[in-house]
Structure 1
Amino acid sequence: MKREMDIKFLDEKDSYEDKSKGNHKIIYLVFTVIIVIGICFLCIEPNQHDSIAADVPSSSNLPSVSQNLAEQQSSQRENTVLSSAASSSVVSSQKAETFQQSNDWKLLLVNSKLKIPDNLNPQIVRYDNVQMDKRILPYFLQMKAAAAKDGITLWLSGGYRSMEEQQKLFERTVQGYIKKGLSQSDAEKEARKVVAEPGYSEHNTGLALDFNGSRSDFVSTDAYAWLQKHAAEYGFVLRYPKEKKSITGIEFQPWFYRYVGAENAKKMNAENQCLEEFLNAPQAQ
């Protein structure tokens, strides 16, 4: 009996030891796997940290990065402005090519984009040493007489110019800017803001008139105020308003009036339009 119990005990002991050894093997295997994974992680992780660190600017580089970003943004804005200006110029050029002059002689349009038609033959007459298209003379005389009744004196300081006269005036203006220190190209650019080149000037049409000395201070006179109020009644409009410079391409000239006919002049004033806008024509800029 005792022997049987001893044998049973020994068998149970051997079975326990076998199980224990099996468990130890499993634990060892799991531990080994954990160690291997840890070693791999330690080998890979520093590289990842290095890669991340390389992408993140250090504090010493932050001003340079910020400056570069600002420069890039400024460059992008400049490119956008230039692209917009170039696009506007292309559209304006395309519009000039397709623009059709009105059949109404009173609405002939001339600016830096639109040259006088080759077949234009103004009917020039002379009045008080100034030339103009004879078709506008009666309306000027009526306007002058009406102004005189209101105590306003209107006299002519400019009218029709031939191509040769316009060329001389343009060259004289260019030379004036060159004497101020501008280069030839810059002088021509500035000159175009105040004097059109031959063939692109309203004065070549015979439909434009300059009043009372062609002076910038004319804007502060009673004569200017009277014209602004009554000129449209006789078919004349201020050709180059101050607020329309970006459209006409010409600096504000308070003395410069253009005949367009009374009906058209009144509509333009009512809508606050310059001639380019009224005719849906290409801008001169």
Structure 2
Amino acid sequence: MRGICQDRVVVVTGAGQGLGREHALALAAEGAKVVVNDLGDAAAAVAGEINASGGTAVADSGDVSDWAYAKALVDRAVAEFGTLDALVNNAGINRDRMLVSMTEEEWDLVLKVDLKGHFAPMRHAAAHWRERSKQGHPVAARIVNTSSGAGLMGSVGQGNYGAAKAGIAALTQVAAVELARYGVTVNAIAPAARTPMTEAVFAERMRAPEDGFDAMHPGNVSPLVVWLAAADSADVTGRVFEVEGGTIGVADGWQYGPRAVRDRRWAPAEVGPAVRDLIAKAPAPAPVYGA
């Protein structure tokens, strides 16, 4: 039986462990040819696991926030398999700390790895697909990004991580519009799962049950990623999906709310009552995690 990603070439970043590893395995199980990216030897271990089980994968080790390496990663997929059909941006780190204690290095590192580490592979993959489209080749390409509830609602102690993940959500929306003309869809997920990154933060909630459905297993997130990377998802773009256990939801972002209008400049003393009236009419924001 052919899988829903049969013979599609997919790059998965940060695929040496956690969510990325599960995505790579699930994509391969559905017939994809997977380029497994991570730092060090982790990518080779996952690629070896896929090949040993009868799938097709190659490992490529490097830092996806490095501009030249991100291009080389895309080029490797094309050289190895002749094309690229999907990019799953999963690589990321956290350096959690309250704002008053956060260092410049902790801020810069998280924004570099998480946000630039999404943009750089996207940029080079998009250039590949644009060129294919201009040459008259059919393109049915997919980008799946990884945001977070910390980016959508905010999370205490994660100002750097939340800013990066919010940037990923906004970048997803922009890229979906810009790349649609080339046959590319762009979506994002905001997953909740037990991974090396989350175990220390949510130790009690993330504990695996002794029996029954393990709602926090990272593999629960991967079926959505596989479908978003498949040809069947062509009519879905610019969306952010929350996914946890057996639950998939569409995250609803910023919308235009109630407005107060004058046909002249506002007087400063008028602003306070107007703003309070607008807030009373508007839906309450989702609470910040940890507040």
Q: TM-score, length-normalised on structure 1?
A: 0.23
Quick check: which has more Rg, 1 or 2? 1
Q: More strand by proportion, 1 or 2?
A: 2
Q: TM-score, length-normalised on structure 2?
A: 0.23
Q: More helix by proportion, 1 or 2?
A: 1
